[in-house]
Structure formats: C-alpha cells, structure tokens
A = this chain, B = another copy of it.
Amino acid sequence: MSRVDIERKIQDENDRLAEENRKVFTEAGVFVMNIISSPGSGKTTLLEATLDRLAERVNIVVIEGDISTERDMDRVRARGASGVQINTGGGCHLSSRMVADVLEDLDLSDAELVFIENVGNLVCPSTYDLGEDVRMVLLSTTEGDDKPMKYPAIFHEASLAVLNKIDLLPHLTYDMEKVEKEIRVLNPEGEIMRLSALTGDGMDAWVDWIMERARAKKASLADGG
C-alpha cells in the first residue's frame, strides 16, 4: 500500500469513527466544540474563562488533548469541569479513535457542553473530524496579522474563528480588519468573534453564542431531530 493510500485509509477510518462519536454525543444531548490553535494562543485560558461564567449553572465536560503532561486538565478541573486528558505521546493532532477510546470515561448524563481542546498545532488537526458540532480556530493577536492565508486549511474548515488576546492590541502592530478579511475569503460563511479571555472583553458574546447553539441542538432533539 502506498503512503497516499494509507493516508486515505486513515482519513476514511477517522471519518467513520467521528460519525459514531457524533451519535454518542447526540444521544447524550450535548453540544461539542473542537478547539484548534497554535501552541499558546489561549485555548486553556479561554476554557477557564468560560467555566468561570458557566460552570455553576451548566455541566461542562472537557477532553484535553496534549502531547505530554496533564497541565491543561488540572487547570480546567480546578474551574469546575470534569473530563479526561489524552496524551498523544508525540502525535500532532487528536483523532476520532482517541476520542472514542475515552468516551466511556466521560459522564455525559447531565452534561450540556463538551469542549475538546486539540493538540497545539495550526496544521495537522485541521481535517480530522472528531464528531464535534463546531470546529473552531483560535488565533491570538500576538501571532501576527498575516496568518490566515499562511495556514489556509484550518480557516477554511473552521465554522468559527475566535481572535483572542485583544487586550494586547495597544502593544502590537496588528491590522484586525486585514485578518478578518482574509478569514472571510477562506470561509465566507464562517463566524468571527474578538475577545480577551484574560480581561473578559467579548466573553459574554462568546458564552451567549455557545449556549444559544447548545439549547437549539437540545430543542431540535426533543422535537425528534
């Protein structure tokens, strides 16, 4: 079997298992987000800020993907999430198989939201469906305003792009309009949000966006789909 054949087989198998994961999530009535970004764009900080706003009234489960360490899982557990850590041991993205393997360790019984924090990598996770409702890309202002066209796949695939660390804009040379324009070229239908997970600026809109979709999914399931 050639390398290309093997890659296609891996992608097909990933898609098949992603559909199975999606059925499990749908039966549990949970809304699932797959969060993708470079290392250090603020995925875990965004989860912490989200948990601070929601954990008292919404049951939230987190699947933490990382090459090594349980650091991120420790951080979100401290803010009230349950969940599991997946260590890829060198692997550059999560796969639907890795998620399927931890599903039985998750208590989805009265959960409303599942966040999957992917491995910090703006390239490899782009095309791997994990069974999520929304694939989201997080990009921080400190990464520079030239990134969408340089990493086009994830901006094309993600239905939501969140621009984080807007609190640092006064200290940077950064053209927000340019970034948003490039994202819209790559994904005309996608949504774009600006926020600072650290200061809380934009967090209300983010939380409303998620909860609206989570409740719409639940209502649609209650209506028989």
Contact = CB atoms under 8 A, between A and B. Distances in A.
A193 interface: no
B171 A39 contact: no
Contacts of A1: 1
Interface string A117-145: 00111111000000000000000101110
Contacts of A152: 67-68
A178 interface: no
A149 B40 contact: no
Interface of A: 1, 3, 6, 10, 38-40, 66-69, 71, 90, 92, 119-124, 140, 142-144, 146-147, 149-153, 165, 168, 171
* Identical copies of this chain, number: 2
Given A38-B40, A39-B122, A143-B40, A150 B92 contact: no
A69 B150 contact: yes
Contacts of A90: 123, 153
Contact of A149 (B68, B92, B142): B68
Nearest to A93: B123
Contacts of A171: 168, 171
A2 to B, nearest CB: 9
A153 B10 CA distance: 24
A142 B123 contact: no
